Amino acid sequence: MFETDSRYYPIEDAELTLPDGRKIVYKRRRFLPHGTSMELLVEVGVTEGDRLDLISARSLGNPTQFWRIADANDGMHPRELTDETGRSLRVPVPTIEEPT
């Protein structure tokens, strides 16, 4: 359902049976980790016009891994993380998630 580097890949599937017998498979809720508990790779400063995907491309080599930076900075609203030029952002060491 999700690529192996997706934030949702390791989340357990659940199933709901509707009154008419149809079954709906869905992912359980994903809880955000505590950012400070994630191993730090590097800290980077936000520059004018930065976005998390650009920072992720530069620091992790993959723009689709922006969510790792959001998690490491307790970003419930990821766009807000790049609103302030000069802000320092934690970039975590990427980990391989195993399905639960």
End-to-end CA distance of the chain: 14
Closest by alpha carbon to 68, among 1, 5, 3, 2?
A: 5
pLDDT tens for 62-76 read 999 999 999 999 998
pLDDT tens for 2-14 read 888 888 898 999 9
pLDDT tens for 11-32 read 999 999 999 999 999 999 998 8
Q: Which H helix or E strand runs over 54?
A: helix 52-60
pTM of the model: 0.79
Residue found under tokens 């307790």: 74
- Here the tokens at position 48 are 């004018």
Residue spans in the chain of domains classed CATH 3.10.350: 34-92
- The class that CATH gives domain 34-92 is alpha beta
